[in-house]
Amino acid sequence: MQAAEDGTLSSPQLSQCLTRKSVDDLGLEKFNLNDSQLNAVADCVSSAIENRPPSLKLIWGPPGTGKTKNISTILWTMLMKMKGLRTLTCAPTNTAVLEIASRIVRLVEQSSDGSVCFLNDIVLFGNKEKMKIRHEDDLSMVFLDSRAERLLPCSCHAQAGCIVCAR
């Protein structure tokens, strides 16, 4: 950090140093990310932390390079540490969407850092038959159609702003 203060770092080095500093307290060490992965996660997350304008990020690479791991880590961090932030995650195939969704659901369920994050903060949308989502799957908890089916028997009563389910 001394190099950053005395001006001996180049602009990219300074940017990387500031990005790393801004994500130090996010609990990313448990994901065992390599430097390249950590830099990608830090770049995506730091823009939200530092209140920079919204941006589009593209993570690409050959199979087995950790793209899904990075995306899951980014989404977990945003869910757990940046309440109220909205993120849209897309992929070219149902398989890719399902893999990312199942990983983030597992990460949220396994999170033990005391933060409050509910699975209702995650919404999965698509064709149920093509995505092969069964009622007993973990993903049915975040799948939009399944949520609607669970809420169907409920009725909204205007008593103190509560929703009461009539079963």
- Domain range summary for the chain, segments of one domain joined by +: 2-117, 123-167
Residue 8's pLDDT band, with cuts at 50, 70 and 90, is very low
pLDDT tens digits, residue range 22-67?
566 777 888 888 888 888 888 888 877 777 787 788 888 898 888 8
pLDDT for 127 beyond 60: yes
pLDDT tens digits, residue range 21-33?
556 677 788 888 8
Residue 100's pLDDT band, with cuts at 50, 70 and 90, is very high
pTM tops 0.85, yes or no: no
Beta-carbon-side half-sphere exposure of residue 32 (alpha carbons within 13 Å): 1
Helix (H) or strand (E) holding 164: strand 163-165
